[in-house]
Amino acid sequence: MAITPQKDNAVIRKVITTDPYILSLGFSSNDTYNTNTTDEKLEANKKQMFIYNSPSRENYSNSETLEVIVQIDISVPIDNSAKANLCAEQIIALLHNYDIGNGSVLKVVSPSPSAMACQSGFFCVGVRFSYFVSKYNKVKTV
């Protein structure tokens, strides 16, 4: 499988934002972003998720592939911290061993879930997954 972060993150986003349990916690597709968490993006009284790629890692057992790291940050108002942890637990249950296509299977990366530093008034937790891809992409044409 080639390196296709936009497509891969869209698959991950769909799995998360269509899950009835995650929706019951108050999370929504409208507040799920394909970008990293920034203080400017955090909105008062909203439960938000951010899906993005962290730096990939070299695969020393196969020099033709990379280990891609996807991080999902969950941000909630501080008084809803339990909902962030419940959401993280469900994301792990949904995505660990999930095949995102072409045989690439997501694996939860330790330490997950992990509390993160964030803006005052919010509670943030992060979950990381990894999967392997080929280093070789096809050149696109117009």
Q: Going residue by residue through the chain (142 aa), what tens digit of pLDDT does each one get? A: 777 888 899 999 999 999 999 999 999 999 999 888 776 778 888 999 999 998 888 877 787 888 899 999 999 999 999 999 999 999 999 999 999 987 789 999 988 899 998 889 999 999 999 998 888 888 889 9
CA separation for the pair 28, 6 (Å, rounded): 20
Q: Are strands 48-58 and 32-33 parallel, antiparallel or unpaired?
A: parallel
Q: Is the pTM of this model over 0.85?
A: yes
Q: Are 5 and 12 in contact (CB under 8 A)?
A: no
User: What is the CATH class of 5-134?
Assistant: alpha beta
- Every domain of the chain and the residues it spans: 5-134
CA separation for the pair 112, 128 (Å, rounded): 6
Q: Are 129 and 107 in contact (CB under 8 A)?
A: yes
Cis bond leading into 77, ω under 30°? no
